[in-house]
Amino acid sequence: MKKLFFIAVLFALSTFSRPTIADDITEFDYPFLLGNWYWFSSTEAGVESEGESYRAMHVQFKSDYQFAMRLLRIDGKIEQWAGEYNIDETNITFMTENEEDQMHTYMLSYNQFVLDGARFTKLAPENLPGIWKTSAISGVDVDQSISELSLTLRPDFLFSAEVSNDKGKSKEHRGIYYIEDNQLVLLYEDGQHDSEFELTSNDTLMLTNTHFGMEAILQRE
């Protein structure tokens, strides 16, 4: 793999064993890593590396330890790679066919990923962030007194969720969310909630959870 990053990097053979793939993303050891990460040059001239200048970079990480990477050069051409990765608390190793493994240092938060000094930002699907309120909520395990769910998903992967009942009482949770494919996980101080989501239109969000027998239809405010 050539010209992988925009700064000097340390190349090393991986000493990791093959990772165990989680059955569910809630069991994945580094959930904040999942998703689509983007780096953009702050200048039109881009950032030079090994004789080429780059304007942007996109890397996607999946819970099955697959990654895909694309680099946009200032001449408009795209360089791309895909393969497997492995990760521990301080290093991430990229493995592609017919190339030496490459190990890099990183730092990670729920929406920032610093890779050998290059800062990436995670972006949510275009139409998912917003303020959503239920037009219907049902399920065998849903308390019959619940009258409304209000869910705010911010582009920076913070959320707030407020559940109200027919007596006017409400409870709010705030925390961090992450997604993969059609699975949405809300993490808050005393628990987590995961569900499958579907954007049936720009203004309608459907949440389902077969474990708890819940189905909710939300409208964008």
8 A C-beta contact, residue 127 and residue 202:
yes
**pLDDT tens for each residue of 191-207:** 998 999 999 888 999 99
Express as a percent the part of the chain with pLDDT over 70. 85
8 A C-beta contact, residue 177 and residue 153:
yes
- Sign for the CA dihedral angle at 118, 122, 41, 56 comes to positive
Q: How far is the C-alpha of 213 from the C-alpha of 35, rounded, in Å? A: 27
Measuring CA to CA, which residue among 97, 93, 113, 94 is closest to residue 31? 113
Whether the per-residue pLDDT at 115 is higher than 60: the answer is yes
**pLDDT tens for each residue of 161-186:** 998 877 778 889 999 999 999 999 99
Mean pLDDT of 127-147: 76
Measured in whole angstroms, the distance separating CA 220 from the mean position of its chain's CA atoms is 21
Predicted structure pTM score: 0.83
Mean pLDDT of 64-90: 95
pLDDT-wise least confident of 15-24, 115-124, 140-149: 15-24
**pLDDT tens for each residue of 7-19:** 222 222 233 345 6
Tokens representing 114 are 């610093």
